[in-house]
Amino acid sequence: MSGRITMMYKVVLFDLDNTLLKTEDASVAALSYALKQDGVTVTPEAIISLMGIPGLEMAKQLGAPNPEKTIAIFNEQIGKEVDLIKPYDGIGAMFTGLHELGVEYGIVTSKLKRVFDDEMKHFPKIQQIKRVVFSDDTQKHKPNPDPILFGIKKYFAEMDLKDVLYVGDSLFDMQAAHAAGVDFANAGWGAIPTNDFSEAEYVLQKPEQLLDIVQRSRK
């Protein structure tokens, strides 16, 4: 058809923590508590610097003597910190806009499925998203590309990688996206300000900016 616009991206995959939901405060509180049960004290900054990788790997890097125990306590405690989890302004309108544009979307998170299911009871708009990749789904995790590639294969098998955009807040997200061969947009509203996202294809300050990106015509 003459004049038809080809969308820049047909699929957008999102990280969850500090991308769709502000979970930093809850995660710091719960993991600090869990680590202290084994006498390990760390700064909030140390925890924040590792956000984006699975909790078990975080616990190992933070010096937990029994990482499995630490994360079991963390997974129990995080449910008690749910009041500290907040949705970002503009996320709902962003999803509405993507739907109206015909852009499909899903989530690739480092959370276990049971933790995700428990937390998302409090966030029905996120809970409605059914195309989700969990930590349970792959043996390797971000910054490895496997979770993103798994999600594309499972939910968007016919999609070309050039038509997929991954949105996240951490350097691990960017590294995973690029290793998977897809473009990356940094969710600047949740990212650590001191991190270097100069290699990101896009740096967003507000969720609605994503709508302008996906509907640009492809050259």
Q: What is the pLDDT of residues 66-105, one digit of tens each?
A: 999 999 999 999 989 999 999 999 999 999 999 999 999 9
- The percent helix, strand, coil of the chain (3-state, each to 5) is 45, 15, 40
Instruction: Residue 23: name the closest of 70, 84, 76 by CA.
Output: 84
Task: Specify the 3-state DSSP secondary structure of 108.
Answer: strand
Query: Which domains does the chain carry?
Result: 11-20+88-215 (3.40.50.1000), 23-84 (1.10.150)
> How far is Cα of residue 179 from the mean position of the Cα atoms in its chain?
16
Nearest to 9 by CA among 219, 185, 164: 164
Question: Measured between alpha carbons, how far is 52 from 171 in angstroms, rounded to an integer?
Answer: 8
Q: 2 pLDDT band (50/70/90 cuts)?
A: very low
Q: Write the pLDDT tens digit of every residue in 119-143.
A: 999 999 999 999 999 999 999 999 9
